[in-house]
Structure 1
């Protein structure tokens, strides 16, 4: 039996000013495009990250980044904001000797990836943002701010706070079909219940970064950019996702059927397939899992998605 060589991986910490970036680099056997910089989100568990890495390295090298005090253990100093982190990603690429990359991120990481793309357009090949909301505080219900949640945690306790968070982030309307909704809700509640104080503080710090981020202004990057989300996303509604794509001259907007904000968890195969197709510049038309597909920059032209 012929053994198939496994992609090599290395993990290191790159310190940029007061911020630690935990960097995982995986090389694939036959890359077909520039390395893929994946900015990790809080909801991505080690199992999810491993599955994504295995899929990506079949066609590209992968650079996975977690941020100390936000998505990795550590403390993110007060005063460090989204722009600082976006510029820090650029310095990570300098440290790795990578001039240009594809960039991916979901949820909080999608918002950060977009700000990186705006501030460092010369480093881009293509960009995939999943569930980017711009300013998440514009779409979440009252009481979801970091200070309010900290107070709720002190007054109501961990179980009640976890239930409130899950109810705010998930689409719970029974009239709207979302695959894996019940399983994801249970998993989210269990994760929040199990979290120690340090993990919960990192989650609140992530939320604080999003709530305090300056508003987006002007056009987005000129590189091809896909903004995709679940068709029933709550914290990053499709309209907000479309508006982000509409800022970009080569922006594409799409929604995946029967999913909400956590589409990368509940429909991972479809999400990874769409990501691969876009980064390799393959056609996106007539994909059965897409509910919407549009190129909205300065035009109202719609590319029909498949029905059924």
Structure 2
């Protein structure tokens, strides 16, 4: 009798669900909107209803389902307890207990950035490395640390918050986390746009950045690839802060490789080259020769990592 598992990646706007066979092959995947109410338990009722429906629709029985792996935004403890759910309603309950009650299936859970890292380590660009760090560059900067094939979650599920490493003690503007000078303020998509606008204020040379009212991180990287001097300066500054942050991470966890994902990573090799350029002089000699890779699983990294929670 063939066996399967579900990987469920819970996001602020949507929920992605993947069905995997016991060998880790993706059989099918779906997505539906995240329901926002005052009680985050409603989200897990929706997930349970969806999984129960799919099991019935595909004429499976629950003995064939090895488990459900779930990735959630915010810190979550290994036992399944989640103290809060950012922008997704009241939490303060146990995800494992709640979803098991609704489905009768074994459940495991972890932070969404951590499961994305686990997915890349298992089936993506990090395949072949037992210890790696993933950093995701999107609206913010997320991160996940994998050591000996396992997520480094920390005592309360909050490890791997790479985006909030201090890289500029002179910064006066607040980060969303409540302090100042985080790498997220410079290397995220929003941070790159802010850097560009800051540099434009004192830029008296020709640049295509001044010819548009709508600056985006993609535009900055595209112009940098074309040789625009200001765009190159912005890219290099963002990557300088990222390289410094990853050097600090390396000196704590000693990974074999760094995998960079998120929307900004679509910029490609220019991002890797400039980040490594600033990583090398800021890290101890024994850690200089580390692999820097672009993530390859895209938006599916989370569901792969969730499946790995069950199939590990």
TM-score normalised by the chain length of structure 2: 0.31
Rg comparison, structure with higher value:
2
TM-score normalised by the chain length of structure 1: 0.31
